[in-house]
Structure 1
Amino acid sequence: MRVGAYKGYVISVFLRDEHCPPHVHVRGKAWDARFRFSFLDGQVELWDVDPERRRPPTAVLEGIRKAIMQRHYLARARRIWWERLRTVCLANHSWDWEADEVLPGLIIQRGVYVIAHARHDVVGQKTILNLVRAPGFVEIDL
């Protein structure tokens, strides 16, 4: 599903056989690139280019990355991912209550809680984490 475009390159979320982490696809004439995004912050990073030998100039990839980081494109990518795939890809991770951050993996220690369920609030532009045995839930403003 189309998210947007940058200088003729179409930015899309594929809906069939998709997998975590959240990402978008961009196709060039002789290459495909994937860019990861998050339901925790506004960062976007280049994940990979295939085939690597046909990699476009760094300036092109950086321009695409910055385009995806625009608030409206990132909000659309998150909405499509959430509405179609029903995941924010935070299952089997933990939340450090003191540091206010997600930690990879299931961690059992004081102040760290397993993420039982996470969802995206499209209207409020938030990620909501429900935690196992935590004193409350977590809302992350995007």
Structure 2
Amino acid sequence: MKVGTYKGHVIAVFLRDEHCPPHVHFRGKQWDARFRFSFLDGRVELWDVDPERRRPPPGILEGIRQTLMQRHVLARVRRIWWEKLQTVCLENHSWDWDADEVVPGLIIRRGVYVIANARHDVAGQRTLLNLVRAPDCVEIDL
């Protein structure tokens, strides 16, 4: 599904056979690139380019990344990913209460709670984490 354009090329979230981590696809004339995004913050990063030998100049890739980081574009990307795939890709991870951050993997130690489920609140532009045996849930404003 189209989420935006950059210099006439389509930026899209694929909806068939898609997988974590959350990402979008960009098709150039002789190459494809994927950019990861997060339901935790506004970061967007280049994931890969295929084929690598046809990699475009860094300025093109950075321009695409900057386009994706625009608040309205990233909100649309998140909405489409959530509505169609119903995941924010935080399953099998934990939340460090003191550090206020996700910890990769299922960690068992004081102050770290397993993420029981996570969802994206499209209207409120936030991510909601329900934690196993935690004092409260976590709301992350985006």
Any residues of structure 2 matched to 1:73-88 within 5 Å, and which?
Answer: 73-88=73-88
Q: Give the superposition deviation at 1:73.
A: 0.6
The alignment of Structure 1 onto Structure 2 pairs a total of residues equal to 142
**Corresponding position of 2:108:** 108
Aligned partners of 2:16, 2:7: CA distance in 1, in Å?
A: 26
**Corresponding position of 1:62:** 62
Any residues of structure 2 matched to 1:1-142 within 5 Å, and which?
Answer: 1-142=1-142
Unmatched runs of 5 consecutive residues or more in structure 2: none
Letter of the 2:118 counterpart: A
- Give the secondary structure class of the aligned counterpart of 1:42: coil
Q: Give the superposition deviation at 1:8.
A: 1.1
Q: Give the superposition deviation at 1:51.
A: 0.2
Aligned partners of 1:9, 1:40: CA distance in 2, in Å?
A: 27
Residues 96-136 of structure 1 show CA distances to partners (whole Å, capped at 9, x for unaligned) of: 00110000000000000000000000000000000000001
Aligned partners of 2:13, 2:75: CA distance in 1, in Å?
A: 12
- Give the secondary structure class of the aligned counterpart of 2:105: coil
Aligned partners of 1:73, 1:52: CA distance in 2, in Å?
A: 26
Q: Percent identity?
A: 81
- Give the secondary structure class of the aligned counterpart of 2:30: coil
Q: Give the superposition deviation at 1:9.
A: 1.7
TM-score normalised by length of structure 2:
0.99
Residues 77-100 of structure 1 show CA distances to partners (whole Å, capped at 9, x for unaligned) of: 000000000000000000000110
Aligned partners of 2:3, 2:119: CA distance in 1, in Å?
A: 20
Aligned partners of 1:8, 1:37: CA distance in 2, in Å?
A: 22
TM-score normalised by length of structure 1:
0.99
Aligned partners of 2:131, 2:9: CA distance in 1, in Å?
A: 39
Unmatched runs of 5 consecutive residues or more in structure 1: none
Aligned partners of 1:4, 1:64: CA distance in 2, in Å?
A: 10
